[in-house]
Amino acid sequence: MSQELKQETAEQPESGLHSKGLSTGTVGVVGLVVIGISCIAPAYTLTAGLGATVAVVGTSLPAILLAGFIPMLLVALGYRELNNAMPDSGTSFTWATRAFGPMIGWMGGWGLIAATVIVLSNLAAVAVDFFYILLAQLTGNQAIADLTKNLWVNIPTTLVFIAAAAYISYRGLNATKVFQYVLVGFQVAVLLLFAIMAFTSSTPFDRTPINLDMFNPASVDSFAAFAAGISLSIFVFWGWDVTLTMNEETTDPAKVPGRGATWTVLVIIALYLAVSLGVLYWAGVGQTGLGAGNEANQESIFAVLSGPIMGPLAILMSLAILSSSAASLQSTMVSPARTLLAMGYYKALPPSFAKISPRFMSPSVATVVSAAAAAVFYVVTRLISENALWDTITALGLMICFYYGITALACVWYFRSELFTSVRNFFFKFLAPLIGGVVLLVMFFSTAIESMNPDYGSGSAIGSVGMVFILGIGVLLLGVAIMLFTKWRHPAFFRGETIKTR
Amino acid sequence: MNLLVGYTADQRGAEALELAAALVQGTATPSLTIGIVVPATTPFSAIYPGGDHGFDSILSAKVDEWAVTALAQVPQGVSAKVVARSVSSVAEGLIELAEEVGAHGIVLGGRKRHRAGFFMPGAVANALLHASPVPVFMSSPQALASLRAANGQITRMTAFVGDRPGAREVIANAAKFATIRKVALRVATLVADSDVSDPATELDPHLVRTKTFLTELTESMGLQASIEVISRQSLDEAIDSLTWEAGEIAILGSSRLAASRRLFVGAKAQRILGKLHVPMAVIPN
């Protein structure tokens, strides 16, 4: 009559916990390209990032987009090595902790959380803008599109979008294959349509002939502009590395990830070049009217240009951006929540962050905190910056450079004993991540110093310090403060008791 | 008897476990399979940036923790094991597990949520009610209070049936449980005025017919059962006027059978489910 203490959770792989259940080996090259593009969310990144990038590099936009991919590629190669070596242990936080110890690991995790929280607030803001633009286009009443400029309407709507995304990710609803194919196909089709209509337009605003110089990175005015341009174009490729880190989900782990990653980047670069050349050709970089150099247009370039270029079809663009940013809002919400959860679990944050909802099997406290942080960040930037979206994107570029840089160097240091044992190791574990990491950290410091100038970004400033610097560095310093507080109250992680360093 | 518990590591899971233990105790080989269903992720909902963030390993450590908590709640004399499964839908996972372990039924905990004037079972229960190949038992805090009032002892089974021939299966299933547990069987039919087209003239003959039909039916099955035909103006009043013993279990036919059993069509069956304050079982055909 004794109780049989039997658990099948740990020792039975077919119980599915460790083999990820149904997802094993179902993704082919096309599926992986779709996943990659959906993580990049090109309709969203272009509308949010193109204007800000034009602002710093002008007509060299195509060159910067091409150059920006290189550090992303180098870092992603390091990511892949870390992911293969420690597939179960997570991401920047755990990897950097294993390589460099608790303090740098903690800040790596914080950089990732900060970047995702910032992008969440930006995604929500873009979704809300296009929500009202779409409503205006549907009803034919232009006044509705202007509602988004009214803070009393804009802020509450954005908070509702953030809350809805948090609720959906807390409930653990998953996007299906069909949903992703439709969403991605629609996005790509609308962006191509935009590029074609820009080139075939009979009445361009400021016809700017395409020339080879646009593809020459050396034609960028200054190193500072180049650095800022790179950190922005990192943002537009952010998401691509997911194609390299998917292994066991693919039908052939030896071939599919490499091919999928290659095709994804080819599709994305082609799309970006088509759209950015279309924008340059049609609108020029002039600082007046519809010019892409006009500060008023840089917040969200498609909000301004899709109407004049696409006419009544602009409604498709609004729909593409709204769907892509809303879908990304929901899927990105999971990321900071899981990093916070992992940090709570390994005692790098108060243990309540480690709570998992027994019903929905998702982080509970961590999800609420992520959504609240994104909401607070949005409200603060919206209230104190003249051009919140633009400054946010620039601060985001900073943050991505920071945590990517740390993670890439973590790869080099983690594998330090085996770097020179083979040619493969030398390139993938040493050279690529080292160059990528150093480049990104240089971009980080260069952009951070540059952004202290009050004229930087949208030109908002507090005192005589630029808004982007205050946002970016402020968030990092907040991280340092929280880290020191946690170290004082919950020292276990910082003594190396929860994650072993190598 | 072996029952599968749809377990979540919270109050509702604890209640499901309590009901399940009460149901199997006293049977020949009382055993419970505690099922924890973890939602499977699809690669098409890729988490970006940073992939899985080690979530799977943290979650499986958590599930191990929950498994220990769950086993600690199982009373002496009942054998129990925990099975975790990663499937995209909880209901689907429970059905799979029930078939694999050969469970005689699935037990769920739950809260009744007030929706548009009457109560509804939760999403998982609802899905199971439409697809489960085995009986589904449902508890709620009020239902457990009734069970606890009888010291966790099951005292009687009540089968809800209509006046149609299909009632036989529900009665047979309820009788099977009653026999295993050696408790009394009651067969109840609820009649609202609107069930007959002209209550003034047709109601009484209808009640008499129903009672005769059920009496003959149970006798033909060789069962000792008390028959109650409750007639009130509305269904709600009829449900309310039924009296319950502490420790009683209500048994209904599944709504999948709606076409052949008039009393359990749609809203009516849902309404009975929602208004009862005792643990319930819904039995497939």
ipTM of the complex: 0.83
Q: For A265-321, what is each residue's pLDDT tens digit?
A: 999 999 999 999 999 999 988 888 888 888 888 778 898 899 999 999 999 999 999
- Angstrom CA distances, A455 to A233, A427, A451, A460, A463, stand at 21, 40, 8, 7, 12
* The two three-digit tokens of residue A484, written as one number: 């020191």
Chain A positions in Cβ-Cβ contact with residue B89 (cut-off 8 Å): none
A19/B255 Cα distance (integer angstroms): 36
Count of domains forming chain A: 1
The answer to whether the CB of A112 falls within 8 A of the CB of A341 is no
b/e map A443-464, b = 16+ CB within 10 Å: bbebbbebbebbebbbbbbeee
Predicted local confidence at residue A17, as pLDDT: 37
Per the structure block, which two tokens stand in for A18?
Answer: 């460790």
What whole-number distance in Å separates Cα of residue A359 and Cα of residue A365? Answer: 14
**Residue type for position A232:** L
What pLDDT is stored for residue B157 in this prediction?
Answer: 92
Question: CB A9 to CB B47 under 8 A?
Answer: no
Q: What is the pLDDT of residue B264?
A: 40
* Residue A390, pLDDT score: 79
What count of Cα atoms within 13 Å lies in the side-chain half-sphere of residue B114?
Answer: 1
Contact criterion met (CB < 8 Å) for A249 and B58: no
Chain B, 74 to 133: residues with Cβ < 8 Å from chain A are 74, 76-88
A408-422, B90-104, B112-126: range with lowest mean pLDDT: B112-126
The pLDDT score that the predictor gives to residue B132 is: 78
B169-223 tens-digit pLDDT: 888 888 988 888 889 999 998 888 877 778 888 888 888 888 898 899 899 988 8
Give the model's pLDDT for residue B115.
Answer: 46
> In angstroms, rounded to a whole number, what is the distance separating the alpha carbons of residues A147 and A130?
11
- From first CA to last CA, the distance across chain A in angstroms is 48
Closest listed residue to residue A303, CA positions, set A62, A57, A121, A134: A134
Q: How many residues does chain A have?
A: 502
- By CB atoms closer than 10 A (0-12, 13-18, 19+), residue A28 is middle
Whether A20 maps to a domain, the answer reads no
pLDDT above 70: residue B90 = yes
Query: Which of A160-164, A184-188, A464-468 has the lowest average pLDDT?
Result: A464-468
- Residue type present at position A72: M
Instruction: Confirm whether A19 is domain-assigned.
Output: no
- pLDDT, mean over chain B: 83
Omega before residue B49 within 30° of 0, cis: yes
Q: What is the pLDDT of residue B223?
A: 87
Q: Is A24 on the interface with B (CB under 8 A)?
A: no
**pLDDT for position A397:** 87
Phi first, then psi, for residue B29 (nearest 5°) are -125, 85
| Residue A143 scores a pLDDT above 70 | yes
Tell whether A263 lies on the interface with B, counting CB pairs under 8 A: no
Residue A153 lies in a domain: yes
pLDDT at res. A373: 96
pTM of the full predicted structure?
Answer: 0.87
Q: Is residue A205 part of a domain?
A: yes
Count of CB atoms situated within 10 Å of the CB of B261: 24
Domains of chain B: 1-139 (3.40.50.620), 151-285 (3.40.50.620)
| 3-state SS record for A336-380 | HHHHHHHHHHCCCCCHHHHCECCCCCCECHHHHHHHHHHHHHHHH
Tell me the average pLDDT across A394-418. Answer: 92
Confidence of residue B285 (pLDDT cuts 50, 70, 90): low
Range of the domain at A479: 25-495
Q: How far apart are CA A377 and CA A202, in angstroms?
A: 43
- Residue A227 has a pLDDT of 84
A8 is a domain residue: no
| Spatial contact of A226 and A220, defined as CB atoms under 8 Å apart | yes
Q: What is the CATH number of the domain that holds A109?
A: 1.20.1740.10
| CA–CA separation, A408 and A116 (whole Å) | 18
Give the separation between CA A15 and CA A12, rounded to whole angstroms.
6
Q: Pairing relation of β-strands B136-138 and B280-283?
A: antiparallel
CB contact under 8 A, B88 and A21: yes
Question: Which residue among A3, A112, A358 sits closest to B50, beta carbon to beta carbon?
Answer: A112
Q: Looking at the partner chain, which of A15, A35, A90 has a beta carbon nearest the beta carbon of B54?
A: A90
Q: What is the dihedral of CA A383, A388, A391, A395, to 10 degrees?
A: 70
Tokens linked to B6:
């749809």
In a domain, A13, yes or no: no
What's the rounded mean pLDDT across residues A232-257? 85
SS3 category, B248: strand
Q: pLDDT tens digits for B67-77?
A: 999 999 999 99
Position B165 scores a pLDDT of: 61
| Whole-angstrom distance, CA of residue B275 vs CA of residue A422 | 72
What pLDDT score does A54 carry? 87
Residue A15 lies in a domain: no
Averaged pLDDT, B151-179: 84
The full length of chain B comes to: 285
pLDDT digits (tens, 9 = 90+) for B230-282: 888 888 888 888 899 999 999 887 654 444 333 343 566 677 777 888 998 88
Three-state SS at A293: coil
